[in-house]
Every structure is written in structure tokens, then in C-alpha cells.
Amino acid sequence: MGDEWRVGRRGLMQASLAAAMAGCSTRDSSFEPAPALAPIRARTDRIFDIAVCLRPFRPAGPRVETERLGDVLVVHNYGHGGSGWSLSWGSSTRAVQLAMQASPAEVAVVGCGALGLTSAILAQRAGARVTIYARDQLPETTSARATGEWTPDSRIALVNAAAPGFAAVWEEMARTSFKRHRDYLGLPGTPVEWIDQYAVSGDTPRTAQSAEASSRTATEPAPEFASYARSIRDLTPQWRKVPADATPFKATSVARGEVMVFNIADYGHTLMNDFFIAGGQFRRADFRSPAQIAALGKRVVINCTGYGARALWKDESLVPVRGQIARLIPQPEVRYGLVYRHIMTVPRRDGMVVQSFTGGERQGYGDANEVPDRAEAEQAVRTLAELFVQSA
């Protein structure tokens, strides 16, 4: 159980919190004092945004490989499930290496999400002139609706379908990405930062426990997602216990980890600026077929169309995994995240993200419905409110 404890949010979501706490105490019995923590104003009338998007999941793992379209070399770089931001730099490094083997002076990138932008910037750094073609710029993409945490093996492949050797490829991508994200720490706008995250266990009401348990068993047998985080456990600190009475939480036990957060609005803005400052061009385009991409007249194209690749490249192995985040009005004084029962919060600068995982990792698997569910968001905020003796 100690192992789950070290792998962070994903492990926390999988393990029962109480069991995880037990693992924590056997590994390290020393308490660390908690800094003064401002309470979260967990009120449903403070929800100002609910966003839904589809994680572009491939059971075999992301597609990073070449394909020929006549004279055009296409390098695919899509299908990163719940890890697209986390793995972006590492995956795009591989894609750009494949693209630059042909030493092109110009590169076209299709897609302007996390994968498209990082591919475009890396191709510029490799010496190419780059044009991004996309239906949507970053603020309108799936990438803009992500939670914004370092979660490099979240819904990245299935155990029984991952390509041979994928674990090693994944590790290389994760390590490369981790280094590149570090370059964005301490910049104006705080595109990337480290925060404390608290895993909190309280006296869950019996009715809520049984409701959560039944929602977990009601769905089909779970797809078994691959887990690779153990191979990079040296990158992030261990979780440690914190005295519950030194926190503002109505809790029976508390532990603290430190996690890397992507402030999506600032990060996206910074990446777009970096791309344009380096001479990048953007053209709005909605491709209906690969032939239209071949007709662009570019010899090398990096395809970063995310879930859009299902229709455009007829890749039916792409599975939508629906996810929803709600945002509460930001509280600058709250610089910590929480995991409590099936709720997670991330104190992003552009809003306090509140996300519900009642169904665990399988939640939303195969579900392409992008309609926001306000009731789910409100329930998550009400659950969060239980933690604060007095809601501010």
C-alpha cells in the first residue's frame, strides 16, 4: 500500500484513502507541521464555469509514428488520454525527431492543443519555419479544459493492449517532459508551479458511502489502465502525514504531497507567445480528409489532432473518456489542493478546479457526451463543503 501512496493522485484515486493512510504511517511516522491554510469557500453559487471534454484515449497508448501520404511525411502525435499536458514535451520531442530526419526547412503542424503547440515550438527550436493549421486555437481546445496537474500515466494505455516496449517509451517521454515543464517555473503569470496537495479522510456519512460504492459497481467491468508511475518515483516527493488538528479540515487523518500544477490559461498563453515570437504562423483550417492535408504543399506535417484524429484519420481505436471540471472563483490565498472522498481540487490561478471521480478512473469511458452536468458539479462542491467546519 505504501507504493500507491507514493504515486500521487492516480494512486490516491485507486486506493481507499484509509488504506493509503495506513501505508503512509508505516513508511514514515514523522509528522510535518502544516502551514496556515485558508479555507475554501465551497459554495455552489461560486461556480462560474463547468467544462466538459473528451480525453483522446488509445488502449495501445499514444500514436507517435510516421506515415507517408504520397510525397508528404506525416508524423502522428495524438492519443494521450488523461496525460496530454503532462507528456506533451516528451511526446513532441519524439515526434519532432521523426519529422526532422528529413531536414525540412518548413514544417506544418495540424492542431493547436498541448501537443500541437509543443511540437511547433520544438520544431522551431530544431530550425524549421512552422505553420500551425487548426480548427481551434488553444483556448477552444480539449487541452484548455484539462485539470492541469502532472499526471503522466493517467489513462494512457490499457494493460492488455499497450504496445510492447511502451513502458520504456513512456518513461522517456515522462522524464523529458518533466524537465521541460521545469523551464516554465517562476515565470510571469506562473504557468507552472508546485503546490501542496492534501489527502483528507473524514467521517464519511454512511448514506454517502453506500451511494459512492453503488456508483462504482453499477457500470461495466473496469478497463484495466496501465500504471507506470513507479519507474519515475524519484521525480516527486513522498506523501507525509500531517496532524489533522493543525489543519482547517474536519478530518480524521490528513497527509500532504507536493504536486506540479499547470495554470492552463497562463501556460497556454505563454506557449502561444513563444510560438509567435519565434516567427510562427497560425492558419485556421478544418480538414475533412488526409488528402486536404497533403494538398497544403508542405513536405512534413506533424499531426496533433487529439480526439479529432478519430474522424480525420479514421482511427477507431480512439476511445472518448468524458471528463468534467467545475471552477469556483479563484481564491488567491488558497495555494493548496485537496483529495477528499471522490473529489479533487486544484487551486489554479484561473479558477479553483473541482472535479468528481465517483466512478474512479473508468468514469466517462466510452462516453462522448460533452453536455455539462451542473448537478454533478454542485454535488462535488457540497461534498467539499463538509470538510470546512465553517464555510466562509
**Identity of the residue, 1 or 294, whose beta carbon is nearer to ligand FAD in the bound complex:** 294
Closer residue to ligand FAD in complex, CB, 11/308? 308
Q: In a 3-state reduction of DSSP, which class is residue 165? A: coil
Min CB(168)–ligand FAD separation in Å: 20
Closest distance of CB 243 from ligand FAD, Å: 29
Output the smallest distance, CB 299 to ligand FAD, in A. Answer: 19
CB 315 within 8 A of CB 331: no
CA atoms 93, 80, 344, 222: torsion sign: negative
Strands (E), 157-286: 192-201, 240-242, 253-262, 281-284
305 belongs to the binding site for ligand FAD (CB under 6 A): yes
H helix or E strand, kind and range, residue 57:
strand 47-57
Check residue 149 for interaction with ligand FAD (CB under 6 A).
yes
- Rounded-to-integer distance, Cα 269 and Cα 71, Å: 34
Q: Closest CB to ligand FAD among 88 and 247?
A: 88
Query: Which of 1, 311 has the CB closer to ligand FAD?
Result: 311
If binding is defined by CB under 6 A, does position 320 make contact with ligand FAD?
no
Q: Based on the shown chain and the rule CB under 6 A, indicate whether residue 114 belongs to the binding site for ligand FAD.
A: yes
Cβ at position 37, least distance to ligand FAD in Å: 22
Cβ proximity of 22 and 294 under 8 Å: no
136 part of the interface to ligand FAD, by CB under 6 A: yes
- What is the per-residue binding string for ligand FAD in 32-61, x denoting contact by CB under 6 A? ---------------------x-xx-----
| Residue where the block lists cell 500532504 | 256
Closest to ligand FAD by CB, 27 or 175 = 175
- Residue 83 binds ligand FAD, judged by CB under 6 A: yes
Site for ligand FAD contains 351 (CB under 6 A): no
Among 17, 99, 108, 115, binds ligand FAD (CB under 6 A): 115
Residue 260 binds to ligand FAD (criterion: CB under 6 A): no
Is 198 one of the binding residues for ligand FAD (CB under 6 A)?
Answer: no
Which CB, 109 or 255, lies closer to ligand FAD? 109
Question: Strand order in 240-242's β-sheet?
Answer: 47-57, 319-328, 351-356, 343-348, 336-340, 192-201, 253-262, 240-242
CB 291 within 8 Å of CB 297: no
Which span sits near ligand FAD by CB under 6 A: 93-101, 109-117, 161-169, 181-189?
109-117
Q: Which residues contact 338 (CB under 8 A, 6 or more apart)?
A: 40, 197, 198, 199, 200, 249, 344, 345, 384, 387
Secondary structure of 226-245 in the HEC alphabet?
CCCHHHHHHHCCCCEEECHH
**Minimum CB distance to ligand FAD smaller for 42 or for 318:** 318
Q: Among the candidate windows 99-107, 218-226, 242-250, 307-315, which touches ligand FAD by CB under 6 A? A: 307-315
Q: Which one among 13, 74, 300, 312 touches ligand FAD, defined by CB under 6 A?
A: 312
**Is residue 66 helix, strand or coil?**
strand
Q: Which of 243, 305, 297 is nearest to 108 (CA)?
A: 297
Cα 3 to Cα 302: distance, rounded to the nearest angstrom: 37
The distance between the two most distant Cα atoms of the chain, rounded to a whole number of Å, is: 67
Residues forming contacts to ligand FAD in the complex (CB under 6 A) are: 53, 55-56, 78, 80-86, 110-116, 134-136, 141-143, 146-149, 151, 285-287, 304-308, 312, 323, 325
